[in-house]
Chains A and B, each alone.
Chain A
Amino acid sequence: QLQLQESGPGLVKPSETLSLTCTVSGGSISSSSYYWGWIRQPPGKGLEWIGSIYYSGSTYYNPSLKSRVTISVDTSKNQFSLKLSSVTAADTAVYYCARHIIAAAFRHLDYWGQGTLVTVSS
């Protein structure tokens, strides 16, 4: 059974960089056809896709966040990571990682991590 687990600081200061890691177990992050994505959810609000990465390092990002987002992958550790720079209180959210399938006939986010709350505050 594929499992994803987010980890990282729960508190980040304004203007600093938020850094999270997602560890994948029960499957290889290097499997073909799978991207790996980040999604966030501000408290009491809806979901927002942040971006996704292929094991080769190919990425694509939400245009509204692109200037501040970097997603990277470490296949040796079966992990992928998120960096979001210049954070403000508006970036306070539960951050989820998920497996993202992008194929000709199918596109979906199937397996999700449990999420981790990141609060931006001084």
Chain B
Amino acid sequence: QTVVTQEPSLTVSPGGTVTLTCASSTGAVTSGYYPNWFQQKPGQAPRALIYSTSNKHSWTPARFSGSLLGGKAALTLSGVQPEDEAEYYCLLYYGGAPVFGGGTQLTVL
């Protein structure tokens, strides 16, 4: 059973920078896992932010960026805004089958 692991929760101050990570139980995450990141606010559908490691959708704010960091996929928020408080999910592809991480609850405080 493949497991994708994220930090359960993180807290950041408004205007600060925070990095969320996404690890694979199979080993180092590479671009071949096509890492995706999603933001979900209460009562809403997930919103796609980043795909294939670092590509942004047309609607993704510039303060969000994706990368590979220390064998994990990473999502960095720079200049955090209060509206960035949300649950963030990563997604990795294993031979075509996508597996979501458990999510990171980001608190802006």
B51 touches A (CB below 8 Å): yes
- State whether B93 touches A46 (Cβ < 8 A): no
Q: Are A46 and B89 in contact (CB under 8 A)?
A: yes
Q: Is the CB of A106 within 8 A of B101?
A: no
Interface of A, helix, strand, loop or mixed by DSSP:
strand
In the complex, chain A residues whose CB is within 8 Å of the CB of B97: 49, 60, 62-63
Which of A25-33, A72-80, A112-120 participates in binding chain B?
A112-120
B55 touches A113 (CB 8 A): no
Contact B100–A46 (Cβ < 8 Å): yes
Also in contact, A108 and B96, with CB within 8 A (given A46-B101, A46-B102, A46-B103): no
Given contacts A46-B89, A115-B45, contact A110 B57 (CB under 8 A): yes
Instruction: Assess the B45–A114 pair: CB atoms within 8 A.
Output: yes
A62 CA / B45 CA spacing, docked (Å): 20
The verdict on A11 contacting chain B, using a C-beta distance below 8 Å, is no
Docked-complex contact A106 and B51, CB < 8 angstroms:
yes
Instruction: Tell me, in angstroms, the Cα distance from A46 to B57 when the chains sit together.
Output: 22
Q: What is the interface of chain B mostly: helix, strand, loop, or mixed?
A: strand
Residues of B within 8 A of A (CB): 34, 36, 38, 44-48, 51-52, 55, 57, 89, 91, 93, 96-103
Looking across the interface, which residue of chain A has its beta carbon closest to that of B1? A64
Q: List 27 A-B contacts (CB under 8 A).
A: A39-B46, A46-B100, A46-B102, A47-B38, A47-B91, A47-B100, A49-B91, A49-B99, A49-B100, A62-B97, A63-B97, A101-B51, A102-B96, A105-B52, A106-B52, A107-B36, A107-B52, A108-B36, A108-B52, A108-B91, A109-B36, A110-B48, A110-B57, A111-B48, A112-B46, A112-B48, A113-B45
A interface residues with partner B (beta carbon < 8 Å)? 39, 46-49, 60, 62-63, 96, 101-102, 105-115
Task: Report A-chain residues with C-beta under 8 Å of the C-beta of B103.
Answer: 46-47
A107 touches B89 (CB 8 A): no
Is A96 in contact with B100, judged by CB distance below 8 angstroms? no
Q: Are B102 and A110 in contact (CB under 8 A)?
A: no
Q: Are B52 and A96 in contact (CB under 8 A)?
A: no
